Amino acid sequence: MDIGTGLVAIGAGLAVGLAALGSGLAQARIGAAAIGAIAEKPELTGRAILLVAIPETLVILGFAVAAMTIVLL
């Protein structure tokens, strides 16, 4: 494996890893608020799951960048 391939792998890992960190931070806050809301109104469970799942798009975009890095470089 040459150094270029290694750098590509590191870049791909960073793209997913950093996006996951951001997503995790957002989900932590949303999740805490959502659990509070569900405790008050259990019928909000569906919408709470939806709100918690929204930041996951960040990781998917990170994954898209990582995949493009691997496929195109």
Partner 1 sequence: MLTPMTRVRVIGPKSALVQAIEELHTLGVVHLDVAGAASDSSLDSVPEDHRRDRHRDELSLLLVELDALLSLVPATDRPAAVAGDHVPGSIDASAMRAAIAPTVHEVEERVRELEELEAEAVVLPRYVQPLRQLLPLVPWLADLSDRELALLRLDTAALVLNLDDDTVVSLLRAELEVELGERFELVATPVDESTVGCVLVFPHDAGDSVHGLLGREHVRHVALPTRYSQLSLRGAVEAMEERERLLPAAIQGAEEAVRELVVPHAAEWQLYRTAAAAELEQLEAIGLLRMTDRAYVMEGWLPRSQVETLREELDRRLDGQVAIEESKPARVDSRVPVLLHNVRLARPFEALVEFLDVPRSASLDPSLVMCLFLPLMFGIMVGDVGYGVILLFLGLYARRRFARSAPVLRDISFVLVFGAAWSLVFGVLFGEFFGDVGKRIVGYDWAVWMYRPGAEALEPLLLFAIAIGIVHVVLGIVLGMWQAARFREPRTLLDRLGTLLVLIGLFTVAGVAADQLPEGAMTPAVALAVVGLVLVLSLHGAMGLVMGPLELLGTLGNILSYLRLAAVGLASAYLAIVANELALAGPIWLGIIVGTFFHTLNLALAGFSPMVQALRLHYVECFSKFFEGGGTPFHPFGERQTMGAETPRAVEQST
Binding residues (CB under 8 A) for partner 1: these are 45-47, 49-50, 53-54, 56-57, 59-61, 63-64, 67, 70-71
| Distant-in-sequence, close-in-space partners of 15: CB < 8 Å, separation ≥ 6 | 62, 63, 65, 66, 69
CA distances from 71 to 12, 17, 32, 57 (A): 10, 18, 38, 21
Q: How far is the CB of 68 from partner 1 (least distance, A)?
A: 9
Q: How far is the CB of 17 from partner 1 (least distance, A)?
A: 14
Residue with smaller CB distance to partner 1, 29 or 47: 47
